[in-house]
Amino acid sequence: MNKLTLLFTGIVLTFGSAWVGFVAYPVANLANMEPLPDEETGGLIPPTLSGLAVAGQKVYAASGCVECHSQQVRPDPLTTDIAKQLGKRQTVPRDEIREHTPFLGEYRIGQDLSNYGARETDVAAVHRHLYSPQLVSPWSNMPSYSYLYQYRKIVGQPSSHALQGLTGSFAPKAGYEVVPTQQAEALVGYLLSLNQNYPLPESPEPTAK
Ligand code: HEC
């Protein structure tokens, strides 16, 4: 083999194997993945996101939450994610197919959120946290998302949606209230929809040792 043929073969092999590994193999295995039928409810596994959650996902993307929060439970026993109760089983590709852009995330400055809706159901508490993270955990370095809330003068009756339990420096002045915008409502809808507690054959729950 002359040097030019050797060089050419080397180039083809290098780029060809990268293409097979990073493009062809994932496309063949993952591109046509479908949700599974849920025999119990007649719905789909994973369940489809509600309209509110889809809108909230866009707010999640725009707010940069993925900079600090992952959404993937890593496998047992390589990590302690399951022991830490971040989820009951490992996250697998089928968990992500309902999301146009899955927010797997790289960093965990805050907790993994893939099963946040399984451990939190209180809408008011989630709003309070987004508005004033340091009220919930004084040491928190999560920024306040107060721009997703309207700080306004109470006219007539206070709003039934106004945030309750804001204390200290987070409390609104007398005669004022803090009310979630549609974006905040959607974001909370999305956060509470994050729940991978459905069975997937390719990701069984690890058995207790
Ligand atoms: C700079 C990093 C940072 C950013 C950006 C950030 N967070 Fe956090 N988040 C944290 C930290 C740290 C905690 C843990 C302390 C606390 O509870 O505030 C946390 C906690 C949380 C929790 C509670 C999780 C649990 O299991 O109790 C939720 C929900 C949450 N963040 C949602 C969000 C959302 C939604 C966004 C974007 C709008 C966001 N975070 C942006 C750092 C961040």
| Protein residue with its CA nearest to atom 41 in ligand 1 | 65
119 neighbors 195 (Cβ within 8 angstroms): no
Query: What pLDDT was estimated at residue 208?
Result: 63
Instruction: Calculate mean pLDDT across residues 85-97.
Output: 94
Instruction: Calculate mean pLDDT across residues 113-131.
Output: 96
In a domain, 86, yes or no: yes
More confidently predicted of 185 and 78: 185
In a domain, 45, yes or no: yes
Rounded to the nearest angstrom, the distance between the alpha carbon of 26 and the centre of ligand 1 is: 31
Which one, of 71, 120, 126, 131, lies nearest residue 96 by Cα?
71
Q: What is the mean pLDDT of the chain?
A: 93
Mutate to test the pocket of ligand 1, among 67, 69, 134, 187 (most ligand atoms within 8 A of CB): 69
Ligand 1 proximity of 62 Cβ (cutoff 6 Å): no
| Protein residue with its CA nearest to atom 14 in ligand 1 | 110
- Residue 187 CB contacts under 8 Å (≥ 6 apart), including other chains: 56, 59, 60, 63, 130, 145, 148
On the question of pLDDT at 1 being above 70, the answer is no
Rounded to the nearest angstrom, the distance between the alpha carbon of 48 and the centre of ligand 1 is: 24
Span between the terminal Cα atoms of the chain, in Å? 57
Looking up residue 126, the CATH number of its domain turns out to be 1.10.760.10
Tokens of 185: 């409502």
Domain range enclosing 72: 41-151+182-193
Rounded to the nearest angstrom, the distance between the alpha carbon of 207 and the centre of ligand 1 is: 30
Instruction: Calculate mean pLDDT across residues 50-69.
Output: 96
Residue 122, sorted as left (phi over 0), alpha (psi -120 to 50) or beta, turns out to be: beta
- Give whichever of 33-42, 91-100, 115-124 has the largest mean pLDDT: 115-124
Radius of gyration of the chain (CA): 23
Number of domains in the chain: 1
In a domain, 175, yes or no: no
Over the stretch 166-192, which tens digit does the pLDDT of each residue have?
999 999 999 999 999 999 999 999 999
Query: What pLDDT was estimated at residue 98?
Result: 83
Ligand 1 proximity of 85 Cβ (cutoff 6 Å): no
In a domain, 88, yes or no: yes
Q: How far apart are CA 105 and CA 144, in angstroms?
A: 20
Reported as a pLDDT band with limits 50, 70 and 90, residue 128 is very high
Residue 43, sorted as left (phi over 0), alpha (psi -120 to 50) or beta, turns out to be: beta
CB atoms under 10 Å from CB of 99, counted, come to: 15
In a domain, 208, yes or no: no
Instruction: Calculate mean pLDDT across residues 25-50.
Output: 89
205 neighbors 89 (Cβ within 8 angstroms): yes
In a domain, 87, yes or no: yes
Q: How far apart are CA 150 and CA 141, in angstroms?
A: 22
Query: What pLDDT was estimated at residue 209?
Result: 57
Lowest mean pLDDT among 12-16, 64-68, 74-78, 141-145: 74-78
In a domain, 163, yes or no: no
Ligand 1 proximity of 63 Cβ (cutoff 6 Å): yes
| Protein residue with its CA nearest to atom 11 in ligand 1 | 110
In a domain, 101, yes or no: yes
